[in-house]
Amino acid sequence: MASRGPTRALVLVLCSVQLVLLLAGVAVAGNFYQDVDVTWGGGNGKILSNGQLLTLSLDRSSGSGFQSKSQYLYGRFDMQIKLVPGNSAGTVATFYLSSQGSQHDEIDFEFLGNASGEPYTVHTNVYSQGKGDREQQFRMWFDPTKDFHTYSVLWNPTHIVFYVDGTPIREFRNREAATGVAFPRSQPMRVYASIWDAEDWATQGGRVKTDWSRAPFTAAYRGLAAAGCTSPDAAACVRSNGAWMSQELDGAAQDRLAAARRSYMIYDYCADAWRFPQGPPPECATK
């Protein structure tokens, strides 16, 4: 009986620290057994290392994927990912948020594989009320297959920011009032990740196909950290005092964003005159 006191006290301290971090808007890494469900792929999705690691594999029979148990309306979401090594052509690994239905909202990181020695493409997109086609693509300044790197999404009523290892690479601002372009602001979303075959388009426009002799293709995930509003009441989430609700990019972060886009962005739908010969979509033109 005497040993229970310190143990209980330690648990209370740890819980208190976690609560403080969540209120401060710091995403706290959890445990995959507690936080997600492997929803498809059978044995191709595996939780390992006492819930600290999750691997998703793709073979001829199936890809695989998981989703968070909780839904969120606004928040900060971090995932550490080590992508498929070697010849990953034709494969797509993902980390994204999404609601459900034909009018769904979605915030995407997709990682498009490539032939051995060629760089991955990091593909981002934002859907609002079922409309996407807002792609921006990047190369990374590191090899994402050699080690784990952190990919993050900040989502609040003002903007959505995509980060890689803490560096902002894309900002999608809420310009709904000025442009009429819907912004994700009312549909709770779950966190998802998956790996699947997209050889018809993923690598060099589909010219390089999946080499199935190299299967299974495996991506590793760890450190899922989510700090967000889980209330089913959307109005309560809008009133949330979590730090993510008011987080903006300061001057230094804006400079890092601009530098990353100059150096690493390889495609921007806003600049695609072939797709938009009459001019870019309204959310692109508004400053």
Please identify every residue annotated as catalytic: 106, 110
Residue 174 tokens, joined: 């809420």
Residue 251 tokens, joined: 């001057």
Residue 31 tokens, joined: 């445990």
Identify the three-state secondary structure at position 12: helix
Phi, psi of 156 (to 5 degrees): -140, 180
Which of the 8 DSSP states describes residue 216?
P
Per the document, the length of the chain is 287
- The CA-atom distances, in angstroms, between 272 and each of 79, 123, 268, 269, 275 are 30, 15, 7, 5, 6
Alpha carbons 243 and 248: distance in angstroms, whole number: 10
Phi, psi of 55 (to 5 degrees): -110, 140
Identify the three-state secondary structure at position 269: helix
